[in-house]
């Protein structure tokens, strides 16, 4: 069982400056809903109701979003706009939200280690809210939990990318397992390689299920590419023992951490509404 979902959300979001100067990147909306709310909804669809958020300075709006606003509720009560809060009210009443702060921005691996206090000694999911995923029938995290239940080891979501984009992602090498065409056992992983050094065009995106020994591994992991503590370096320790599965998910993913991906997601969700 996966009961908890960690949301590393302490990054500066520099690609969205000046919007992210005083507003968390995770609060930027696609239409009327902030990115992190899409992430929480995906976790809920996967049967998770314990949300653990790694936040940082300037991120208080995330806490306020997942809380009741009595003044606002009072103001719109009985009016036509009241239903606009239905979804978020549902999340607030069905989930718990816990927070811890990453004091220094030292990379995704470090952010995950900071979340240990909220997770404890159980396997857990991770959603990077700026990777917005959508699949009509079964959410990406829900698909990954089925893979986890089968293999009982860490699982990362992967996507085929154009070779010239490998420098933006963790890229894997692996062997297809059990005659599947979407599930690989990882043999190698390289963080943000040049296309000529990339072992494949299969890139890790912002969805993970990790076993809790990852915390001990992260504690020993030295800063890697970009001087940051990289989750791919820690995962490589598990992968050497054959304990990391890469799963090519079904559905769409928008890189909303980039302006292009953000605009693409906005247009796609707007067209879907009409
Ligand atoms: P990104 O690489 O997208 O970095 O982090 P960023 O700071 O959010 O954005 P840019 O590149 O400056 O525009 C991927 C995810 O990891 C989190 C971020 O919040 C984001 O969800 N993260 C990254 C942390 O929580 N802490 C870190 O030290 C680094």
pLDDT at site 30: 98
**Average confidence (pLDDT) over 116-139:** 97
Nearest CA owner, ligand 1 atom 7 = 11
- The parent domain of residue 53 ranges over 4-273
Q: CA-CA distance, 263 to 267, in Å (whole number)?
A: 6
Nearest CA owner, ligand 1 atom 10 = 13
Q: What is the pLDDT of residues 204-246, one digit of tens each?
A: 999 999 999 999 999 999 999 889 999 999 999 999 999 999 9
pLDDT at site 132: 98
Res. 268: pLDDT tops 90: yes
Report residues whose beta carbon is within 6 angstroms of any ligand 1 atom. Answer: 8-15, 25, 54, 102, 105-108, 110-111, 128, 130, 257
| Average predicted confidence (pLDDT) for the chain | 96
Cα 10 to ligand 1 centre (Å): 7
Q: What is the value of pTM for the model shown? A: 0.96
pLDDT at site 85: 87
**Secondary structure (DSSP) of the chain:** ---EEEEE-----GGGTTTTTTS-GGG-EETTEEHHHHHHHHHHHTT--EEEEEE-TT-HHHHHHTS--HHHHHHHTTSGGGGGGHHHHHHHHH-EEEEEE-SS---HHHHHHHTHHHH-SS-EEEE-TTEEEE-SSS-HHHHHHHHHHHH-SEEEEEEE--GGGGGGSEEEEEEE-TT-SSEEEEEEEEES--GGG-S-SEEEEEEEEE-TTHHHHHHHPPP-GGGS--HHHHHHHHHHTT-EEEEE-SSEEEETTSHHHHHHHHHHHHHHH-
Is 254 or 83 the better-scoring residue by pLDDT?
A: 254
Q: Among the atoms of ligand 1, which is closest to the Cα of residue 104?
A: 28
Cα 13 to ligand 1 centre (Å): 6
Residue 79 — very low, low, confident or very high, per pLDDT cuts 50/70/90? confident
Domain tally, the chain: 1
pLDDT at site 5: 98
Q: Among the atoms of ligand 1, which is closest to the Cα of residue 257?
A: 3
Cα 56 to ligand 1 centre (Å): 11
Question: Ligand 1, from 7, 10, 11: best to mutate by most atoms within 8 Å of Cβ?
Answer: 11
**CATH assignment at residue 139:** 3.90.550.10
Nearest CA owner, ligand 1 atom 18 = 11
Q: What is the pLDDT of residues 150-187, one digit of tens each?
A: 999 999 999 999 999 999 999 999 999 989 999 999 99
Q: Among the atoms of ligand 1, which is closest to the Cα of residue 10?
A: 25
């Amino acid at each position: 069982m996966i009961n908890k979902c960690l949301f590393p959300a302490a990054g500066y979001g520099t690609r969205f400056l000046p919007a992210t100067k005083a507003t968390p990147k995770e609060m930027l909306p696609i239409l009327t809903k902030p990115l992190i709310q899409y992430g929480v909804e995906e976790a809920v669809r996967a049967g998770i109701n314990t949300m653990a958020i790694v936040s940082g300075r300037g991120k208080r709006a995330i806490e306020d979003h997942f809380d009741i606003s009595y003044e606002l509720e009072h103001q719109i009560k009985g009016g036509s706009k009241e239903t606009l809060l239905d979804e978020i009210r549902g999340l607030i009443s069905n989930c718990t939200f816990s927070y811890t702060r990453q004091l220094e921005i030292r990379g995704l691996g470090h952010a995950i280690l900071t979340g240990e206090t909220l997770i404890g000694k159980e396997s857990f999911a991770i959603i990077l809210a700026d990777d917005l995923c959508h699949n009509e029938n079964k959410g990406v995290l829900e698909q990954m939990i089925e893979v986890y239940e089968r293999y009982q080891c860490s699982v990362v979501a992967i996507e085929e990318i154009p070779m010239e984009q490998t420098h933006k992602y963790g890229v894997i090498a692996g062997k297809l397992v059990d005659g599947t065409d979407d599930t690989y056992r990882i043999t190698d992983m390289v963080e943000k390689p040049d296309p000529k050094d990339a072992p494949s065009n299969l890139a890790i995106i912002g969805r993970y299920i990790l076993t809790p020994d990852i915390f001990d591994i992260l504690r020993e992991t030295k800063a890697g590419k970009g001087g940051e503590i990289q989750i791919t370096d820690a995962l490589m320790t598990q992968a050497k023992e054959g304990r990391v599965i890469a799963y090519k998910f079904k559905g769409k993913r928008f890189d909303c951490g980039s302006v292009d991906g953000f605009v693409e997601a906005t247009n796609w969700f707007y067209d879907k509404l009409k």
